[in-house]
Amino acid sequence: MNPALLMNMMTFFSRSLLSLLLIICAISIFFPVSVSAASLAADEVEVLKQIGKTLGKEDWDFSVDPCGGEKGWATLNPSKGFENAVTCDCSFSDNTVCHVTSIVLKSQNLNGTLPTELVNLPYLQEIDLSRNYINGTIPLEWGTTQLINISLIVNRLTGPIPKELGNISTLANLTVEFNQLSGLIPPEIGDLSRLEKLHLSSNNFTGELPETLSKLTNLKDIRLSDNHFTGKIPNFIQSWTNLQKIVMHASGLEGPIPPGIALLTKMSDLRISDLNGTQAPFPPLNNMTSLKYLILRNCNLNGSLPEYLGAVTSLKTLDLSFNKLSGEIPSSFSSLADTDYIFLTGNLLSGPVPDWILKKSENVDLSFNNFTPGSQGCQESEVNLFGSSLNGSTGISSCLTSTHCSRTWYSFRINCGGKEVNVGSGTKYEADTTTLGTSLMFVESNSNWAFSSTGDFMDDGGSLKSFIQKNTSILSVKDPELYMDARISPLSLVYYGFCLKNENYKVNLHFAEIMFTDDKTYSSLGRRVFDIYIQGKLVEKDFNIVDKAGGAGRSITMTYDAIVTNGTLEIRFYWAGRGTTAVPVRGVYGPLISAISVDPDFTPPSEGGNGMSTGAVVGIVAAVAFVIILLLGILWWRGSLKGKDTRDEGGVNDYFVPGI
């Protein structure tokens, strides 16, 4: 070899080596390798061993230091951050000893109980056991800790909130949503003067909210949905002046919304729905100038829409559906043209539909109101105007233009959310796969049915926009093709059959729960609860597919009698605020329907017989009939005003039809 070349190569290597060493030095200066001998205090190691046993956490490896972040002690989930971590503070006693400050074990299906032993971790500030399969009660011993954050959402916890927790003066977050806790809220909770988040939704809490809660002046975020609280929404909420978020769907509390709400001027997310109690005008929200989400749905509001809402340009979602609001849409509302969603469904609003709404490309739902019919059809841009006018037939008949009754029908079958299938000996279910603008559209099929869907899944990060769901696990059902896809709805989903012979029918609703699982994981802890109306009559209150079918992934067919008197059959599914909203992930709730079959409860004439009639004539008859049913619907709706007022137990009125 050429000596000069050899020389060159050696120089090259030595330089490379030098650079490498320099780089290593630099790295170790900026990112020092931990050589400190600090490790977890020996007594806390023993406590962790007990805690692991109590929780059923089997992959903690005690051959390494729990504070070192190795071998299962801290696992970074790239999409969700640390969902599994024991965190320590090692800055005590000259950095020679560490103490556990936080235990976060999320979504691990741990199936033990809550560890009383936590009290022996004196520096612990956080315990987060969200989305596991933990049972038992909340240990009253926790009352002696200095915890800042307790998060136990989505587990199987039972029993009450121990009054001893009122002694945790450091506590800022108490989140126990989506369990099976029960009993009264202890007045001692009012002593938690640093409390910012109090999340109690989807449990079985009862009784009135204790007056002591008025002392929680640092509260920013309170969630009370899906419980069985009693009494009125207390006016003492006015002392929660730092509150930014209230979520109160079907809490059990009664309206009207108290005047004290006016003082909560920092509110950005106000969601109240399905409130029992008497009718009342729109609450005074004039000073809530930073609202992003305003939901006052099915709250018995009457009177007119307030002008000032038009000035709240921060609004993203405005949902005032299923109230008794009347009058015109105020002109000030035109500044809400950039709002993501406006739902005014199911009120008594009148006057012309404003131009800005017809031009708005985003989602607006004005269906089931009393607007003056205009040149608008059923669906202008993404505005759902189905049944929005009642004083004339323009709006309605244009909704029916392609549903000309070229014949009389004696049945219809829909594979909701799925493709056309034939089951059994050739029974055909029609496809129902429309995903286009699905949030609000009134869609007509080529045969004798249609549907109208209202609502937006909240907090789902936009992931459920198609409103069609596929099964997530294997189904143990006959005819799985009927159940592998289902139509879901965040709020209200109505199927209509048209051009039916006026007769008696059997309505068969086919359900299978396909989003929860039937195993011992947190995905099995979902509770889907919704209401079903047929021909405007409530046939199921708090319907739960899993309960009826005997588990997730199993099917159940519910059969109801229905009388058609005007050619039209209406089947409505409505989410009345009950059930879990975050299992297995946020935004899973509301009605789910797999298939519908409506069969004659009479002997239809043989094919080719008098079933056929002149298309045009029947078309007109059907359109007129449909106007009549809508008018009847409105009469029911108005009739329900009286019906509701006289009901002091605030229960469900059989003829209360949300949306009509």
Ligand X SMILES: *[C@@H]1O[C@H](CO)[C@@H](O)[C@H](O)[C@H]1NC(C)=O
Quick note: the x/- pattern for ligand X over 445-474, rule CB under 6 A, is: --------------------------xxxx
Quick note: the x/- pattern for ligand X over 321-360, rule CB under 6 A, is: ----------------------------------------
Cβ distance to ligand X smaller for residue 65 or 542: 542
Q: Does 286 bind ligand X (CB under 6 A)?
A: yes
> At its nearest, how many Å lie between ligand X and the CB of residue 168?
9
> At its nearest, how many Å lie between ligand X and the CB of residue 578?
11
Residues 140-159, interacting with ligand X (CB under 6 A): 143
Contact 143, 123 (CB under 8 A): no
The residue from 284, 310, 374, 650 that contacts ligand X (CB under 6 A) is 284
Structure tokens given for 441: 């559209």
Cβ distance to ligand X smaller for residue 268 or 473: 473
Can you tell me the distance from the alpha carbon of 287 to that of 312, in angstroms, rounded to the nearest whole number?
10
Cβ distance to ligand X smaller for residue 116 or 566: 116
Burial label, 157 (beta-carbon count in 10 A; 0-12, 13-18, 19+): buried
Residues 203-222, interacting with ligand X (CB under 6 A): 204, 206
Contact 453, 492 (CB under 8 A): yes
Cβ distance to ligand X smaller for residue 157 or 569: 157
The answer to whether the peptide bond before residue 256 is cis (omega within 30 degrees of 0) is: yes
The answer to whether the peptide bond before residue 258 is cis (omega within 30 degrees of 0) is: no
Cβ distance to ligand X smaller for residue 179 or 379: 179
Residues 172-191, interacting with ligand X (CB under 6 A): 180, 182, 188
Contact 579, 529 (CB under 8 A): yes
Q: Which of 99-107, 161-169, 299-307, 444-452 is the region at the interface with ligand X (rule: CB under 6 A)? A: 161-169
Residues 82-121, interacting with ligand X (CB under 6 A): none
Structure tokens given for 240: 């929660």
Contact 379, 371 (CB under 8 A): no
Q: Does 227 bind ligand X (CB under 6 A)?
A: no
Q: Which of 3-11, 284-292, 317-325, 632-640 is the region at the interface with ligand X (rule: CB under 6 A)? A: 284-292
Exposure string (b/e) for 544-580, b if CB count within 10 Å is 16 or more?
A: bbbeebebbbbbbeeebebebebbbbbbbbbbbbbbb
Contact 512, 483 (CB under 8 A): yes
Can you tell me the distance from the alpha carbon of 628 to that of 272, in angstroms, rounded to the nearest whole number?
33
Helix and strand numbers, DSSP H then E, in the chain: 6, 41
Residues in CB range of 578: below 8 A, 6 or more apart:
226, 249, 250, 274, 527, 529, 530, 542
> At its nearest, how many Å lie between ligand X and the CB of residue 259?
8
The SS3 assignment for 404 reads: coil
- Amino acid at position 484, single letter: M
Q: Which of 80-88, 162-170, 292-300, 318-326 is the region at the interface with ligand X (rule: CB under 6 A)? A: 162-170
Can you tell me the distance from the alpha carbon of 384 to that of 168, in angstroms, rounded to the nearest whole number?
50
> At its nearest, how many Å lie between ligand X and the CB of residue 529?
10
> At its nearest, how many Å lie between ligand X and the CB of residue 512?
10
Per the listing, tokens 């009862």 go with: 206
Cβ distance to ligand X smaller for residue 135 or 613: 135
Q: What angle do CA 458, 461, 466 make, to 5 degrees?
A: 80
Quick note: the x/- pattern for ligand X over 5-44, rule CB under 6 A, is: ----------------------------------------
Residues 475-514, interacting with ligand X (CB under 6 A): 475, 480, 484
Q: Does 53 bind ligand X (CB under 6 A)?
A: no
The SS3 assignment for 200 reads: coil
> At its nearest, how many Å lie between ligand X and the CB of residue 386?
33
Alpha carbon of residue 116 to chain centroid: 33
Cβ distance to ligand X smaller for residue 373 or 579: 579
Quick note: the x/- pattern for ligand X over 231-270, rule CB under 6 A, is: -------------------------------x--------
Cβ distance to ligand X smaller for residue 286 or 406: 286
Structure tokens given for 135: 């049972």
Can you tell me the distance from the alpha carbon of 179 to that of 132, in angstroms, rounded to the nearest whole number?
11
Maximum pairwise Cα distance, the chain: 108
The residue from 50, 101, 111, 167 that contacts ligand X (CB under 6 A) is 167
> At its nearest, how many Å lie between ligand X and the CB of residue 146?
12
Q: Which of 164-172, 272-280, 490-498, 568-576 is the region at the interface with ligand X (rule: CB under 6 A)? A: 164-172
Structure tokens given for 525: 């802890």
Cβ distance to ligand X smaller for residue 175 or 202: 202
> At its nearest, how many Å lie between ligand X and the CB of residue 248?
18
Helix (H) or strand (E) holding 115: none
Q: What number of chain residues touch ligand X (CB under 6 A)?
A: 21
Cβ distance to ligand X smaller for residue 289 or 335: 289
Helix (H) or strand (E) holding 4: helix 3-30
Interface positions with ligand X (CB under 6 A)? 143, 163-164, 166-167, 180, 182, 188, 204, 206, 262, 284, 286-287, 471-475, 480, 484
